[in-house]
Structure 1
Amino acid sequence: MAEASSTSSGGVVDDPLSLKQLSLSTSPANIVNHGSQITNDGLREPGGSEGVSGDSPSHRNRLRRFTDVLGTKKIDLRQLRRLAFHGIPDKDGMRATAWKLLLGYLPPDRGEWESVLRQKRAAYQQFREELIIDPKKQEGCTGGDHPLSQSIDSKWNAFFKDAEMMEQIDRDVMRTHPGLHFFSGDDGAAVTHREEMKRVLFIFAKLNPGLRYVQGMNELLAPLYFHFRCDCDRDAALHAEADAFFCFMDIISEFRDNFCQQLDNSEVGIRAMLSRLSSLLNQVDPELWYHLTHKNKVNPQFYAFRWITLLLTQEFSFPDAVRLWDTLFSDPGGRTDCLLRTCVAMLVNVRGELLQGDFSANLKLLQRYPPVDAHAILHIAEQLADSNSIS
């Protein structure tokens, strides 16, 4: 995919781009307060699972249930999914542990965690050593191998190609959640966070030459890395880079076809996903579907490309997107179906405005989705799951 132009601080693209570039590069989501709590580095967390106050008996009961489930020798994943579907408390590293279990990084048997983590983290360290090339620090880079060499075997040639990709990754990581000090600060901690994220994305690209790095992947890594790095378990936090890498790989493995430009017009690419979204909307709300599709001709690719590709991270504030991911990772119907239902729920949530709007007004509304409590969207999506199935 071609590199997108730079954006202003408000996330508005300066130059005209192709649809795919525009969808991945623009960033309308702002950090808007929906009555949520303040946590690490001023980052809000959604106001408790299911909107329950952190001091309420209901919330304390959920904490106990999560503690019980996560504290057993062998985790009951079915029970964990049922709990996580309605939100994971942001306490004692529960979300970090639950996500690792839900994404298959940790096995259900707690007794296996130590060996699994040791093997995975050692494998990641090996990736770092083998894939991050610096000819100046490697033996054998003398004589025939020099910075101007065009040989396919030249370490210098590979180094310069890698540097181009790293430059693109660096630009995107620098733009990741500029309003959050964790990602954008100038202190040593924030710099370390950005460097670790860049390594994760670079190593992923090197291991996946058919896909490589695609603009916007940084937004999918950010929630994982943030929660793993803020884990109250100090040892786990120190290994956030490796742990986030493997969980990021799991997410991309399911949604990678959406990033692959060669599959855009195939039965598994992004256009197929957009078609499924349109079909589901037709099932749920034929009137709204007809108004958007035929009367206004607002094609889903004009707004939902970014919704689907970046898993709604740009349509909601960071903590609300995290809350959506709790449900996304634990939905018994699977992540793809859950994502599509959530997108339809977003359309249904603003159906009144959409039915009254013309092409221009509706496109603006959907490309700059208005602030809304994530729980309200998830409630609509859950109702859709009870009454409809995605074909």
Structure 2
Amino acid sequence: MTSEDPRIVQFYNLIHEEEKSGIIDRKEHFEYANNQLPKGDNLIRFYHWILSLEVVPYQREKWDSVIQGLRNNYVEILNQHLEYDENFLHKPIEEEMDSEMSKLLQEVDNDMKRTVNSFRSSLISHLETSDLEIHTRRMERILILFAITEPDLNYIQGLNELILPIYTVSYYAGMKLNYDVITIEAVSMKLLSQLLIRNGLIVIYSSLENTRQIYQYFNVINKAIAMNDKELSSYFNEIGILNPMHYCFSWILTMFAQVLCFDDVIRLWDYLVILNENMVHFQFMMTAAIVLYKKRSIIGVKADRIIGTLHSIKDLPYIPILRIANSLYSSMYRDLTH
């Protein structure tokens, strides 16, 4: 792959794209990603994500066999649980669909359609088509099979907003790499699994019914706000917001898909995926950064309207908030990780 952009050339040299063999230097990869990926290049982004989330190893020659293995496993799961339909209505293998499966299909369908509609213009641009129905169905299929293969997690609202960037980036890259649709879906499902499990987000998802534990996780956001803005912290205490979970839970679950524009979401994820097990800690600091950034529109809002005000935050500027979050993360790293 050729390009005049030296940053793009640098990346392809880094991953041994020409020879497709050899050991990719992990440290060099992370240093490259810390300087931001070339803007708008979803193929490089795809390579970066599958490396960072260990979907593929740093041994370049193993990539093809690993991805083929993911495809084979996905096909096996698909054939076991759903009839494959090119036009794509979900058809469970059993003639009589049980109530649990029916509920899952309906819930995934409703959530995915709503999410696609929210990001319609961005998806049309990234997927290079205005016909999003088939892509919606494919993302639904990934979520259904993920829920079936991860019974301890099940399907939870929020996964729909995680699969959207993953599938969009994977589809674009897959078309460039001549992957078939099943391979794209298989890699997307593995990326979703790794994002949740390897980077610790599953701790939040799996603790949804343990209110006390969740409150403890989120309390570090209060600490960050209190350390950096006594006035705002006092105001939250005064109006009765004693735990950030009340206003930012969905921000964490969706990795900020609800408060950033689509392009900024995937740029943020470029950074988050290299944090490994510290990803969720950094997300807490992103939450504190958003609240600190929006202080002027928060102070003075009545108690009965404050949650709605925070939930309505959309299309935040990405760079200044990331700077604040990085500063908070650096100063609070010990509190976050001990």
Tell me which interval the TM-score lies in, with the shorter structure as reference length.
Answer: 0.7 to 0.9
The equivalent position to 1:80 in structure 2, one of 29, 47, 53, is 29
Q: Does the 8 A contact of 1:86 with 1:327 survive in 2?
A: no
Report the counterpart of residue 249 of structure 2 in structure 1: 305
Q: Specify the alignment match of 1:328 in structure 2.
A: 272
Q: Secondary structure at the match of 2:297?
A: helix
Distance 1:99 1:237, change over 3 A: farther
Question: What SS does the corresponding residue of 2:15 show, helix, strand or coil?
Answer: helix
- 2:188 paired with 1:244: yes
Q: Contact conserved, 1:284 with 1:388, CA < 8 A, in 2?
A: no
- Is the contact between residue 24 and residue 59 of structure 2 (CA under 8 Å) also seen in structure 1? yes
Please name the residue that 1:215 is paired with: 157
| Number of equivalences | 310
**Shift of residue 188, structure 1, vs aligned partner:** 9.2
Other-structure match for 2:10:
65
- Identity level (%): 21
1:161 and 2:103 are equivalent in the alignment: no
Q: 1:356 to 1:85 in 2, by over 3 A?
A: farther
Partner in structure 2 of residue 192 of structure 1: 134
- Structure 1, unaligned stretches of length 5 or more? 1-56, 135-153
Deviation of the 1:82 alpha carbon:
2.5
Alignment of 1:200-349 (within 5 A): 200-231=142-173, 233-236=176-179, 238=181, 239-253=183-197, 254-260=200-206, 263-267=209-213, 270-292=214-236, 294-298=237-241, 299-331=243-275, 334-349=278-293
RMSD: 2.8
- Supply the distance in 2 between the matched residues of 1:97 and 1:262 (Cα, whole angstroms): 32
What TM-score comes out, normalization by structure 1 length?
A: 0.71
My pick for the range that moved more, 374-383 or 95-104, is 374-383
Equivalents in 2 of 1:262, 1:341: separation in Å? 20
Greater radius of gyration (CA): 1
CA distance in 1: counterparts of 2:275 and 2:187, whole angstroms: 22
What CA distance in whole angstroms lies between the structure 2 residues aligned with 1:86 and 1:352? Answer: 31
Contact 2:116–2:136, Cα closer than 8 Å, also in 1: no
1:112 equivalent to 2:58? Answer no
Higher helix share: 2
Deviation at 1:214, TM superposition (A): 1.3
Unaligned runs of 5+ in 2: 85-92
Deviation at 1:244, TM superposition (A): 0.3
Q: What is the alpha-carbon distance in structure 2 between the residues aligned to residue 304 and residue 262 of structure 1?
A: 14
Paired amino acid for 1:94: I
Q: Establish whether residue 132 from structure 1 lines up as the match of residue 82 from structure 2.
A: yes
Q: Residues 166 and 192 of structure 2 are in contact (CA less than 8 Å); yes or no, is this contact kept in structure 1?
A: yes
CA distance in 2, matches of 1:164, 1:362: 33
Distance 2:288 2:95 in 1: 49
Q: Distance in 2 between matches of 1:320 and 1:301?
A: 23
User: Is the contact made by 2:158 and 2:250 (CA closer than 8 Å) also made in structure 1?
Assistant: no
* TM-score after normalising by structure 2: 0.81
Question: For 1:340 and 1:202, how far apart are their aligned partners in 2?
Answer: 29
* 1:209 partner amino acid: P
Q: Partner of 1:150 in structure 2?
A: none
